[in-house]
Amino acid sequence: MFDPERLEALLEDESRRRNSTNSVHLSQQNDDSLDVNLNEKGSLEYSRQTERYKLCVVGDSECGKTSLLNALVRSDFEAEESCIFGECVADITTEESRIEVMLWEISGLEHFDSIRREMYRDSDVILICFDIGHPPSLKSVVDKWVPEISNACPGVPYLLIGCKNDLRSDAALQLYLTVPGQEPEESDSISRLQAISMAQSIAARDYVECCAKTRWNVKEVFKSAAVAILHKDDEKAPEDTNKSQSVLRRFSWFHRRSSGSDLNDCNTVARSVSGGRRRSLFSTS
């Protein structure tokens, strides 16, 4: 259930959180697992040069955004998980900078439309998620999420994120197993080309696919978000971008960055900023 007092407290406390340190962190040892670690003093020390940014994750209800965030901060996958509201931080280090990114999930349920504007406040990057196996969630990107973001926080860079990549793989397997001469079942999954075309049309900074269940490409989602934050002034704001421009040409900005040390040497750590206790405002995404 939604707790308005909890939300108000989180929003008012956000400035203080940007400069705070906390006791528990989740250290990512490799691409496939996450381990909980706590130092001897029960706290982490950060240099004063570390900057903290706010990352918001939006998308239709049940599109996979909750699982995406939990895949970064948990060691196991659960079909039903609690939302994350500013109580987890991803520590991302590159050769040029180290940043802390507060993770905020914004509910896609319609009865929370009126409060989402406040939750966008002070965002530095936004991930717009959709369900690869559910085409209406991609339609909502252009019909609902981009207009809402453009109105609430114009100029803030956003990325398009395709969740549940495994659903497309399941459709491909079904096609492969179809008996010769038999019509295969029609797939409702969204192709990568369709998603890239959408990313082009909305002038997203990048398009990244992932699978929270297997953790495939989860790190790449947040690496790309970090690059968008660090270089958000390298390109014009989305509303000033030539939307007829080739998606590959526009995305060459990201690939030039990723080919260097920015991402190859990037270390991402996710940790709780509430003493290991993740409290939620909503029970589902």
- 153 by Cβ neighbours in 10 Å (0-12 / 13-18 / 19+) ranks as middle
Of the listed ranges 14-23, 75-84, 89-98, the one predicted with least confidence: 14-23
- 149 by Cβ neighbours in 10 Å (0-12 / 13-18 / 19+) ranks as buried
Q: What is the pLDDT of residue 232?
A: 80
| Domains recognised in the chain with CATH numbers | 49-178+189-231 (3.40.50.300)
Q: Tokens 């790449």 belong to which residue?
A: 220
Judged against a pLDDT cut of 80, whether residue 20 lies above it is answered with no
Q: Residue 138 is inside which H or E element, if any?
A: helix 135-140
pTM (global) more than 0.85: no
Each residue of 113-158: pLDDT tens digit? Answer: 778 888 899 999 999 999 999 999 999 999 999 999 999 999 999 9
pLDDT band, residue 93 (cuts 50/70/90): low
Higher pLDDT: 278 or 206? It is 206
pLDDT band, residue 204 (cuts 50/70/90): very high
